[in-house]
Amino acid sequence: MAIHPIEFRYGTPEMKRIWEQENKQQRMLDIESALAQAEGELGIIPKEYADEIKAKASIEYVTLERVSEIEAETKHDIASLSKGLSEVCEGEAGEYVHFGATSNDIVDSSNSLLLKDSIEVLEEKIERLTKIILKLADENKTKVCIGRTHGQHALPTTYGMKFAIWADELHRQYDRLQHAKDNVCLGMMDGAVGTTAALGTQGWEVHKKVSEILGLKPAPITNQVLQRDNHVEFIATLANIATTLSKIALEVRNLQRTEIQELGEYFDPEKQVGSSTMPHKMNPITAERICGVARIVKSYVNAAMENNPLWHERDLTNSSCERIMFPEACILTDYILNLTIKLMNNLIFYDENIERNLNFTNGLIMAERLMAELTRAGMGKQTAYGVARKNAIKANKEKLLLADLILEDPDASQFLSKEDVERIMDPHTYIGSAPIIVDEILEASKDWF
């Protein structure tokens, strides 16, 4: 019976396949095969034995069931794997399986392959999501809306700005993932304390040859493990990506509030149910799930950091943690990337509400512009600020139009005509360089991927 929600609720088939036990075992067998190939090429073991080990290093021959049977007796996963591979090799080839390696050579190098495969899935989805959001930025470049700071109406902005900010951030997250990939996807074949002593004078050459066969960069130095500061960077990068996805989803959730309802996620009225008791509910469940799962991904950062300081050349405290952390962090990050793609592809805009909210404060949001225009017209800036503030407070308190109060104000009316005030109070014409900024992001994005 399934227990963990990843088994039946969260995750995509493409990412789950990477971390399924069958694939994990195959990746470890790939390391055993690469070790044998390197040793065969360098004349450390007979070439025909290396070829036989390579031919049998497959879960077709070394089954999960058999390795599990051996592990039940040995209580050691890698010793069981190497014995299982030895058993299926013909002749004397089985005697040379795992020669010169320690268990973590297999574990860490295979994890590097699994992480590399996972990163490739994440890269494609970050790129896809970024392009969707760039398209939204372009389409909504001049869609004026109210900007909010501290939850309060501030100044006009555009939806193009909102989307372009997210796209720019996702591009940085993509770059961070590339950097983490370069550091975390390393190969090692260095023996019990990193000296390659069991392989004699050819040990370091074997280390490099194995990495070459696997398509990994060879680690420059190890003890019994690849150093976990690189894994901290990787997990922290996934957590950082999760913060961006959570930021996007949180904004959608807030803008879908009943009182605001400027945009929201798609809701299928024919099939979807918002509440088991309230028939009218249309909840932002996709965005809420993104925010909730993102918290789990972010929580792994502390665990990753705890895995870096180990006793001496290493202890085993990182191992059990990483068996959980690596697959879950990759699967859940990929999952909320998928959800965010779905969310952005199906956004609903409520243009009437966007316009209503833009004018909700009876012109208070144009107080900054009034101050600036009074200053340009010859009033001192500090005086202009005081005039705008005095009238804004009165307009807010008495529910009056700010424009009317400015026209009645003897100080302001010396500098601004009725036509001036009408022009100043139009929020659609107070978006500054927003279209230019978005255009520059769109132009720069042509070189992002």
Q: Which residues are catalytic?
A: 150, 275
Task: For residue 217, list its beta bridge partners.
Answer: 186
- Give the burial class of 387: count Cβ atoms within 10 A of its Cβ; 0-12 exposed, 13-18 middle, 19 or more buried: buried
Helix, strand, coil % over all residues of the chain, rounded to 5: 65, 5, 30
Residue with tokens 């424009």: 403
What are the φ and ψ backbone dihedral angles of 307, each rounded to 5 degrees? -80, -10
* Residue 233 near residue 268, CB atoms below 8 Å: no
Angle at 96 between CA 92 and CA 102, to 5 degrees: 160
Q: What is the DSSP letter of 354?
A: H
DSSP 156-184: EEEHHHHHHHHHHHHHHHHHHHHHHHHHH
Question: Which residues, in sequence order, are CB contacts of 261 under 8 Å at separation 6+?
Answer: 255, 350, 353
Determine the 3-state secondary structure of 47 from DSSP.
helix
Buried (b) or exposed (e) across 202-223, using 16+ Cβ within 10 A?
bbeebbbbbbebbebebbeebb
Rounded CA-CA distance 409/400 in Å is 14
Q: How far apart are CA 432 and CA 377, in angstroms?
A: 19
Q: Are strands 347-349 and 144-149 parallel, antiparallel or unpaired?
A: unpaired
H-helix or E-strand spanning residue 398:
helix 381-398
Q: Which of 185, 228, 186, 183 is nearest to 207 (CA)?
A: 186
Contacts by residues 306-315 (CB-CB < 8 Å, ≥ 24 positions apart): 307/228, 307/231, 307/232, 308/227, 308/228, 308/229, 308/231, 308/232, 310/225, 310/228, 312/223, 313/193, 313/194, 313/223, 313/224, 314/104, 314/223, 314/224, 314/225
Asked if 267 contacts 282 with a C-beta cutoff of 8 angstroms, the reply is yes
85 neighbors 94 (Cβ within 8 angstroms): yes
